[in-house]
Structure 1
Amino acid sequence: MSRPLRLIFAGTPDFAAESLAALLASRHDVVAVYTQPDRPSGRGRKLTPSPVKALAQEQGLPICQPVSLKVPERQAELASHEADIMVVVAYGLILPRAVLEIPPLGCLNVHASLLPRWRGAAPIQRAIEAGDEESGVTIMQMDAGLDTGDMLLIRRTPISATTTAGELHDRLASLGGEAIVEALDALSDEGLDATPQPEAGVTYAAKLSKAEAELDFTRPAAELAARIRAFNPWPVAWCALGNDRLRLLMARAASIAPGEAPMPPGTLLAHGADALRIACGEAGDQVLEVTRAQLPGGKPLAVSELLKARAERLAPGIRLGHTDEEATA
């Protein structure tokens, strides 16, 4: 067996910490960890270390938290670790070409999509929102572009009609850890073939914003159901309920019941056994069935439980997405 690789790890959130944990359990040697500077968090806005930093501290690893890697002093510091390779997972800093060229084996990235689909900031959420039937992780040789490097290894996982972004995140984080260890093992032994990304099929996963979370019930039911799952756990889809917000956490598209007349989009229809039924589509002739939701000041609940506790707030005929005055006008 060839020697273990000396590696620098660069990452910040929980997703990256999964890969770091897998590398620490492997035969390879993590010689330094790079992560974002501590950020204010919580009500007290106390400076809080990233999940990657917390794990690195537990393991007694050297930790670097530069604001930028563009300055020569920081690049020299990185080179001083004499690593064979650098592994980058959701780090949050741009790596200039000079940094990419420091490790002899370059820099590898664990990307949460099946490249070239969903390059960019939010591949997990955009895959669900678009109705993709599968996702996965790609181990990529980094270059100066945005997720444009050659692919070294791909691992796939299905997306079902009930998969949320939170569930897919956790599954891909674990899969990413397994995949990066597999890739490093292969590079250390017999090597890995690099495959250029095809030009066909490129899509970009734009960063999520809170403004996207408000639902427009004139949109098709299947689109809204996918968006609700994609935005769970953040930023969480919502609609106006009078002057409050109703948060929607799980939903499915359904057909309008036989003999049921189309209603204005956003109208609460007769409840199902386990779901709020909301008229949607441009003509109000489609139905969104919401099976998990959260009222202001309450906990996320299955709709069957929510109706037992607060049925008066969710009576059929109420118009969501409008004020009470508009709903009764």
Structure 2
Amino acid sequence: MNLRVVYLGTPQFSATVLKTLLEAHTFVVGVVTRADKPQKRSSKLVASPVKQLALSKNIPLLQPTKTTDPAFLSQLRKWQADVFIVVAYGVILRQELLDIPKYGCYNLHAGLLPAYRGAAPIQRCIMEGETLSGNTVIRMDAGMDTGDIVNVNHVAIGEDMTAGDLAEVLASSGGEILLKTLREIEAGTVRYIPQNHAIATLAPKLTKGEGLVKWDAPAFLVYAHIRGVSPAPGAWTRFLFQGKESRRLGILSARMESSSEPHETPGEVLGVAGEDLLVACRQGSLRLRIVQPEGKACMKARDFFNGQSRGAVLFF
């Protein structure tokens, strides 16, 4: 493949895709990634996974503070790219930048457009109880995930799959669908299908508060919510400490127990099953497996429960 490619991306998802392209001998003439960020609880700057990969392969690298900076745009033009590939770069790109490459800019979106446009398609689709996801490659325009569709692949969402699990699967298959797109661009056989904007839905970035579990819902939706916010921002609830004080409890692992029986008190602890804790939802129940009380280490749910007054209630 002789296309000159500039790659824009930042997180591990994007690094996995870039690795696939490089292993297929894609001619990546430059990489653009976000500025290094301080570590949590530290002032030490950490390079993005995409930057680390680019440096290990001796690929020219840019980290602009602003993508509208004239000096940055000038350097992009000097790379004389045929195509820009954008995968989770993290910034909306202006038309001036999109117009630089000969054949345009193409984005790998980790969702089935026009559904779940935005920063969190993986998390949102699981939280909504979807059973199918996939990657969509679009030719970018100035809108947010609004460009014409070029290629799509589909991935089944397993019943216990978390957002982290699905991200790994989509990243692995995302590189292949981009390689297919690049071959079609080079051969002149690429096709563009306009999105149906009337049926578009949004998937905005999750806040920490959205990790809060609401037990007053069917168990399958509560479980979908927990899986969708795992590993980040993470699921959590509150429990009654000594029958009066509410404290935060992180939920690191859970499983469906049943989905049919109704409960008058969602969030009530129904009992212990082996190492797990059975918790009532509005309809059905869940097993909590691994939890983390605020300010403490992770522990088995049974051990947490044994340390509380029996009959403690989880609530939303």
TM-score, normalised to structure 2, is 0.91
Alignment-derived partner of residue 298 in structure 1: 297
Report the residue type matching 1:267 in the other structure. E
Distance 1:315 1:191, change over 3 A: farther
Deviations 1:244-301 (A, max 9, x none): 33222323262466xxx944221101233564222232xxxx2331243213223365
Secondary structure at the aligned position of 1:31 is classed as strand
Q: Which letter does structure 1 place at the counterpart of 2:190?
A: L
Q: Please say if 1:278 is aligned against 2:275.
A: no
Paired residue type of 1:129:
M
Q: 2:14 aligns with which of 10, 13, 16?
A: 16
| 8 Å contact kept, 1:228–1:251 | no
Cα gap change, 1:208 to 1:295, in 2 (>3 Å):
same
Q: CA deviation at 1:50?
A: 0.4
Per mean C-alpha deviation after superposition, the further-off stretch among 104-113 and 199-208 is: 199-208
Partner of 1:325: none
1:287 matched to 2:284: yes
Match of 2:254 among 233, 239, 250: 250
Q: Deviation at 1:82? A: 0.4
Counterparts of 1:28-177 in structure 2, within 5 Å, are 28-177=26-175
Letter matched to residue 244 of structure 1: R
Aligned length: 308
Of 245-254 and 181-190, the range deviating more from structure 2? 245-254
Equivalents in 1 of 2:310, 2:267: separation in Å?
Answer: 11
Partner of 2:194: 196
Instruction: State the AA in 1 paired with 2:297.
Output: G
Q: Give the letter for the 1:121 counterpart.
A: A
CA contact 2:87–2:109 (8 Å) conserved in 1: yes
**Structure 1 match to 2:184:** 186
Structure 1 contact 229–251 (Cα < 8 Å) conserved: no
> Percent identity between the aligned chains?
37
* Structure holding more strand per residue: 2
Q: Which residue of 2 aligns with 1:327?
A: none
**SS at 1:184's partner residue?**
helix
SS of aligned partner of 2:5:
strand
Contact 2:263 2:284 in 1 (8 A): no
**Which amino acid in the other structure matches residue 298 of structure 1?**
A
Distance of aligned partners of 1:142 and 1:253 in 2 relative to their CA distance in 1, 3 Å threshold: farther
Tell me the distance in 2 between the aligned counterparts of 1:178 and 1:314.
Answer: 50
Of the three residues 297, 301, 311, the one matched with 1:317 is 311
Q: Can you list the C-alpha shifts for 1:35-86, whole angstroms capped at 9, x where unaligned?
A: 0011101332201100000000101111100011213322111111001010
d(CA) in 2 for partners of 1:115 and 1:79?
30
- Where 2:133 maps in the other structure, the secondary structure is strand
Q: Secondary structure at the match of 2:25?
A: coil
Q: 1:199 to 1:311 in 2, by over 3 A?
A: closer
Q: Distance in 2 between matches of 1:289 and 1:314?
A: 19
Q: Structure 1's 256 and 6: CA in aligned 2 closer, same or farther, altered over 3 A?
A: closer
Query: Secondary structure in 2 aligned to 1:270?
Result: strand
CA distance in 2, matches of 1:275, 1:201: 41
Aligned residue for 2:21, secondary structure, equals: helix
Q: Secondary structure at the match of 2:134?
A: strand
Amino acid across the alignment from 1:5 = L
RMSD (Å), alpha carbons: 2.0
Compared with structure 1, are the counterparts of its residues 314 and 252 closer, same or farther at alpha carbon in structure 2 (3 Å cutoff)? farther
Report SS of the residue matched to 2:31. Answer: strand
C-alpha distance in structure 1 between counterparts of 2:151 and 2:289, whole Å: 37
- Consecutive unaligned residues in structure 1, runs of 5 or more: 323-329
SS at match of 1:269: strand
Return the TM-score normalized by structure 1: 0.88
1:268, 1:314 within 8 Å by CA — same for their partners in 2? Answer: no
Distance 1:100 1:114 in 2: 22
Amino acid at match of 1:217: W
**Counterpart Cα distance in 1 of 2:191 and 2:199:** 21
